[in-house]
Amino acid sequence: MIVVQKYGGSSVATTEKIAAVAKRVAERAKEACVVVVVSAMGDTTDELISMARQLSSMPEDREMDKLLATGEQASSALLAMAMHDLGIRAVSLTGGQAGIITERTAGRARILKIDVKRLREELNKQNVVVVAGFQGITENASWADITTLGRGGSDTTAVALAAALKADSCEIFTDVDGVYTADPRIEADARKLDTISYEEMLEMAGQGARVMHSRAVELGELYDVDILVANSTKDVPGTVIKKEDDEMEVRNPVRGIAHDTDVTRITVAGVPDQPGIASRLFATLAHSNINVDVIVQNVGTEGLADVSFTVQDADLEKAKKAIGPVTSEIEAREVVVDQNVAKVSIVGSGIRSNPGYAEKMFTAFAAAEINILSITTSEIRITCLIARNQVKNAVRALHRAFELEKA
CB of 318 to Mg ion, least distance (A): 24
Site track for Mg ion across 36-75, x = CB under 5 A: ---x------------------------------------
CB of 331 to ligand ASP, least distance (A): 43
Contacted entry of ligand ASP, Mg ion, none for residue 96, CB cut-off 5 to 8 Å set by kind:
none
152 counts as binding ligand ASP under rule CB under 6 A: yes
What are the helix and strand counts (H, E) for the chain? 12, 18
133 counts as binding ligand ASP under rule CB under 6 A: yes
Burial class (CB in 10 A: 0-12, 13-18, 19+), 20: middle
CB of 72 to ligand ASP, least distance (A): 6
95 counts as binding ligand ASP under rule CB under 6 A: no
First to last CA, the chain: 33
Contacted entry of ligand ASP, Mg ion, none for residue 208, CB cut-off 5 to 8 Å set by kind:
none
Measured in residues, the chain has a length of 407
Q: Count of residues binding ligand ASP (CB under 6 A)?
A: 11
Tell me the residue nearest to ligand ASP as measured from the CB.
154
CB of 152 to ligand ASP, least distance (A): 5
Tell me the residue nearest to Mg ion as measured from the CB.
9
Residue 373, φ and ψ in degrees, nearest 5: -85, -45
Q: Report the C-alpha gap between 289 and 380 in whole angstroms.
A: 26
Q: Quick one: which H or E segment has residue 297? A: strand 293-297
Q: Where are the alpha helices (DSSP H) in 30-116?
A: 44-55, 61-85
Stretch that binds ligand ASP, among 16-24, 37-45, 99-107, 374-382 (CB under 6 A): 37-45
102 counts as binding ligand ASP under rule CB under 6 A: no
Q: Report the C-alpha gap between 342 and 313 in whole angstroms.
A: 11
Q: Which is nearer to ligand ASP, 134 or 402 (CB)?
A: 134
Q: Which amino acid is at 249?
A: E
Which of 7, 69, 72, 61 lies closest to 34, judged by CA?
A: 7
Q: Quick one: which H or E segment has residue 359? A: helix 357-367
- Pairing status of strand 256-272 against strand 239-242: unpaired
Three-state secondary structure call for residue 230? strand
CB of 342 to Mg ion, least distance (A): 25
Q: Which is nearer to Mg ion, 210 or 321 (CB)?
A: 210
Question: CA angle, 210 as apex, 207 and 216 as ends, to 5°?
Answer: 95
Among 40, 64, 88, 240, binds ligand ASP (CB under 6 A): 40
CB of 46 to ligand ASP, least distance (A): 7
Contacted entry of Mg ion, ligand ASP, none for residue 134, CB cut-off 5 to 8 Å set by kind:
ligand ASP
Q: Which is nearer to ligand ASP, 159 or 271 (CB)?
A: 159
Q: Which amino acid is at 217?
A: V
Stretch that binds ligand ASP, among 39-47, 76-84, 175-183, 378-386 (CB under 6 A): 39-47
Among 5, 11, 39, 207, binds ligand ASP (CB under 6 A): 39
Helices 61-85 and 44-55, interaxial angle, to 10°? 150
Three-state secondary structure call for residue 110? coil
CA 173 remoteness from chain centre: 15
Stretch that binds ligand ASP, among 11-19, 151-159, 171-179, 219-227 (CB under 6 A): 151-159
153 counts as binding Mg ion under rule CB under 5 A: no
DSSP 175: S
Pair 365, 323: CB distance under 8 Å: no
Residue 117 has a CB neighbour count (10 Å cut-off) of 9
Q: Which is nearer to ligand ASP, 133 or 136 (CB)?
A: 133
136 counts as binding ligand ASP under rule CB under 6 A: no
9 counts as binding ligand ASP under rule CB under 6 A: yes
Rg value, the chain, Cα: 23
Contacted entry of ligand ASP, Mg ion, none for residue 11, CB cut-off 5 to 8 Å set by kind:
none
Contacts (CB under 5 A) with Mg ion, residues 6-35: 9
Beta bridge partners of 169: 3
Pair 99, 36: CB distance under 8 Å: no
Site track for ligand ASP across 44-73, x = CB under 6 A: -x-------------------------x--
Give me the residues that bind Mg ion (CB under 5 A), please: 9, 39
Give me the residues that bind ligand ASP (CB under 6 A), please: 9, 39-40, 45, 71, 133-134, 151-154
